[in-house]
Amino acid sequence: IPAWLSETGQVKVFRAAPVDEDLWNWHQHGWRHINWQKEGAKSEFGSDRAPERQYEDILQGRTKMERIFGPNFVPVFTPPWNRFSRATLKALRKLDFKGISATAPFPPGVKSLDGIKHYSTCLDLHTREVKNPAGDFALLIDQFSGLSKMKGLTGIIIHHQQMTPFAFEFLDRMLYNLKYVIGARFSSFKETLKSPDERPARARLR
C-alpha cells in the first residue's frame, strides 16, 4: 500500500526482503486502502469514485512505488478488497500498467482490455467469513481441488501479517501438493508479463 510505506517501513521491508531479490514482485496495492463506496461492498476504486480521482490516486501510488523500488517495480495493480470499475481500468491503461490482480472479473461489458492482463485470484485464504469452521474447511478443500482442473493462470490470496502457525502450515502443505501431486507450475508477474520468447523454457506455462 504505497501511502502506508514510510521510510521506517521501507527499512524494515528491505531488511527482510532485499529489493533486488528475484523472488519478490513489487507491485501496487491501491493507494491508501480507504473505502469510498457509500453503500454495499467496500472498494477504494469502485463506482462511487470519480474517474479523475481514481487516476490521481493510482498515479500517486505508482510514482511512489517507482521512487522506492526503481527498476524492480512491476506494473501490476491489485485493488483493495479486490474490486474495481471501468474507470480503474482506463486509468491503468493510461498509466501503462500491464496487469490487474483481483478475484473480481472485468466489469460487465468489458471482456478484455488491450495491454492489461487479468490475473484471476480464485482461492482466498485471507478474507473468509467463517460461521461454521468445519463446513468452511470442507469448502476450502473443494476450492483447492478445483484448482487442478483449471487451465491457465490462477492466483491465491494470503495475508502473511494475519496468518496463524496453522495457516502457514496449511499453505506449506497446499503448495507442496500443488507442485508435487497435481503438477502445477509456479510463475511470477515478471515472468508472465514477458513475451513467450523472453521466458526461459522452464518458466513457460502450459
Domain limits at 134? 2-139+154-163
Q: Is the pLDDT of residue 201 over 70?
A: no
Predicted local confidence at residue 156, as pLDDT: 85
Residue 71 lies in a domain: yes
Residue 144 lies in a domain: no
pLDDT class for 195, splitting at 50, 70, 90?
A: low
Q: Exposed, middle or buried by CB within 10 Å (0-12, 13-18, 19+), for 8?
A: exposed
Is 149 among the domain residues? no
Domain count, the chain: 1
pLDDT at 202 over 50: no
Give the pLDDT score at 18. 93
Give pLDDT tens digits for 169-186.
888 988 898 889 888 888
Instruction: Provide DSSP, 109-133.
Output: T---BTTBEEEEEEEESSS---SSH
Structural domain includes residue 201: no
Looking at residue 107, the DSSP 8-state letter turns out to be P
> What mean pLDDT is predicted for residues 12-17?
93
What pLDDT is stored for residue 54 in this prediction? 98
Q: How sure is the predictor about 40, in pLDDT bands with cuts at 50, 70 and 90?
A: very high
Quick: pLDDT tens for 48-67.
999 999 999 999 999 999 99
One DSSP character per residue, 131-159 reads SSHHHHHHHHHHHHHHHTT--S--EEE--
Supply the pLDDT for residue 129.
Answer: 64
User: Closest by alpha carbon to 84, among 31, 150, 125, 157?
Assistant: 31
Classify residue 147: in a domain, yes or no: no
197 pLDDT higher than 70: no
Does 134 reside within a domain?
yes
Q: What is the mean pLDDT of the chain?
A: 86
Is residue 195 domain-resident? no
User: What confidence score (pLDDT) does residue 205 get?
Assistant: 37
- Which residues make Cβ contacts (< 8 Å) with residue 192, sequence separation at least 6? 99, 117, 119, 153, 205
Phi/psi for 88 (5° steps) reads -65, -45
pLDDT band at 198, cuts 50/70/90?
low
For residue 34, how far is the Cα from the chain centroid?
17
Quote the pLDDT of residue 120. Answer: 86
- Stronger pLDDT, 117 or 201, i.e. the higher one: 117
Q: Please write the tens of the pLDDT for every residue from 98-143.
A: 999 998 888 877 766 778 999 988 777 765 666 777 777 777 777 7
- The predicted model scores a pTM of 0.85
